[in-house]
Amino acid sequence: MSLELPPGRRRFVFAACVAAIFTSAVEGTIVATAMPTIVADLGGFSLLAWVFASYMLTQAVTIPIYGRLADIYGRKRILFFGLGLFLVGCVLCGFAPSMLWLVIFRAIQGIGAGAIMPVSLTIVGDAYPALERVKVQPYLAGIFAGSSIAGPAIGAFIVEHMSWQLIFWFNVPVGVIAIVMLALFLQEKPRIVKHTLDIWGALLLMAAITGVLVAMLEATHLGWWIIPLAAASAAVFLIFLRMEKNSPEPMLPAALWRDRTLLAANLGSFAVGAALVGVSAFLPTYLQGVMGDSVLKAGIALTVMSFSWPLASTVGSRIMIRTTYRTTAVAGGVILVLGALSLAVLALLPFDLRANLLGGWSLTAAAFIVGAGLGFMNSSLHISMQEAASAHRGIATATVAFMRMAGGTFGAAALGAVLNLSVALKLPEVEDPVQIVMDPALREKLPPPELNRIAGAVGDSLGNVFWVTVVIAVISAAIVWMVPHIRPGQLTPAQIKRD
């Protein structure tokens, strides 16, 4: 569908969508800063991981469902429901009397958050034609970058000068403003065709996704039990696929996987999520644990990557208008491979050389290159997907968002396994060597030769992680060749097939 809005009204709708996206994006970074204070107040340290996992799980499993609902019942009412439920969860989290209740309230937050990003992006896709969508894409990328930068700083300020409850209540006024603006300025045409929701398909999809994500998130605790859990999830997913073939209105239309542009967007987003976590999750560990740098320097490295992403998205959008979707996507893939390769090569240099000559700034520069590659790729994948999706834009946008989140979860689990296995092979006699090099007090207790030996082994293990990230980057660069060699605004089914 498309929204015929005058330019003035469309700007307000875009601003409301940006505000809604900000509430969901900043939630992923602002809470982490406050967790030590929250644990000290509520106790329940054993449930710490589930404060994050409950939010991520419920958000992930509901994203495809909200996307389908937005196609059936309209974007506005679904976004109102999801954003409203998210804000209710925010309020409840601030009143949590224990860590268990905080986990439950975070799950409520996640159920609402599953609607915010995909439906907001779908509304933007409906409101702007392809060429104008290219121009506003950098602003959307900037929201995620800005939340990554501002979230920890806002969280630290609130915890230091106010109460940790305000961490959760911070989003409430922003979300309310977004709801009011959408109510005033977003007008959807009433839908005449009656649709039905595939309830059983939705439940089976939720069960399959939940099983896979729990297996990934709790692999270290479940041990070999992840194998039957993953097998059961796969069986449920196969049943889901079989039911989808006979459903008049399936949860995931087959067009999402038959169309080459949509397939490229889904697979490419999965690879982008995995590559992103390969840098954001493990580069700070390398800088602090191996190089001995401060938390500030590690934070700067991620900030630089967050800055280069929207910058590259802006440049890529200009290039996309003058060239094609594929040109921009392939350029991003090449830049991503170069950035990941730089990280891997620098990490595996002799320890004395990388410690004394290069320092951490060379790795920060490599992170900048990675962010630039991701910015080029993501903008091309997203815009081409929304142009190709047409009637299925809601579920298509939601599926791409889910695939990126699933890629990040898979990447964290797989790359974490590579790190743990490498460390165990290199330092079998040392218990938790990563913790040793990350803790300043434990580092000071070790004689310099022993510290260098352990840090060098951990650095080599993280180098292996970066080499796997290179493989992921190469795969993503190959995937984007499926993106059509067509300029924005010219994408038609016949051209997709011919290209």
Fold of 1-196: Growth Hormone; Chain: A; (1.20.1250)
1-196 and 253-499 agree in CATH topology? yes
> CA–CA separation, 210 vs 203, rounded Å?
10
Question: Domain segments of the chain: what residues?
Answer: 1-196, 198-248, 253-499
Q: Cα(160)–Cα(122) distance, rounded to whole angstroms?
A: 38
Residue 163 near residue 61, CB atoms below 8 Å: no
- Between 3.40.640.10, 3.40.50.300, 1.10.10.10, 1.20.1250.20, what CATH number should domain 253-499 receive? 1.20.1250.20
What does each of the 499 residues of the chain score in pLDDT, given as a tens digit?
Answer: 555 566 667 788 888 888 888 888 777 667 766 766 777 677 766 566 677 777 877 887 788 788 778 777 778 888 889 999 999 999 998 888 888 888 889 889 988 988 888 888 888 877 777 667 667 766 776 776 667 666 666 776 777 777 778 888 888 898 899 888 888 887 776 554 555 666 777 778 778 777 776 776 666 666 677 778 778 888 888 887 777 777 766 666 666 677 777 888 888 888 888 888 777 777 777 777 777 666 666 667 777 777 787 788 778 777 887 888 788 888 888 999 999 898 888 877 765 665 555 555 777 788 889 888 888 888 888 777 777 766 666 677 777 777 887 787 777 777 777 877 888 787 777 776 766 766 667 767 777 777 778 777 777 788 888 898 899 999 988 988 888 777 766 555 444 444 4
Q: Phi-psi category of 193—alpha, beta or left, where left has phi over 0 and alpha has psi -120 to 50?
A: beta
Contacts of 229 (CB under 8 A, 6+ apart): 211, 214, 215, 222
Backbone angles phi, psi at 76, to 5 degrees: -60, -55
Q: How far apart are the first and last CA of the chain?
A: 25
Contact (CB, 8 A) for 64 and 398: yes
> Could you tell me the two tokens for 72?
């059936």
DSSP string across 210-257? HHHHHHHHTHHHHGGGHHHHHHHHHHHHHHHHHHHHH-SS-SS-THHH
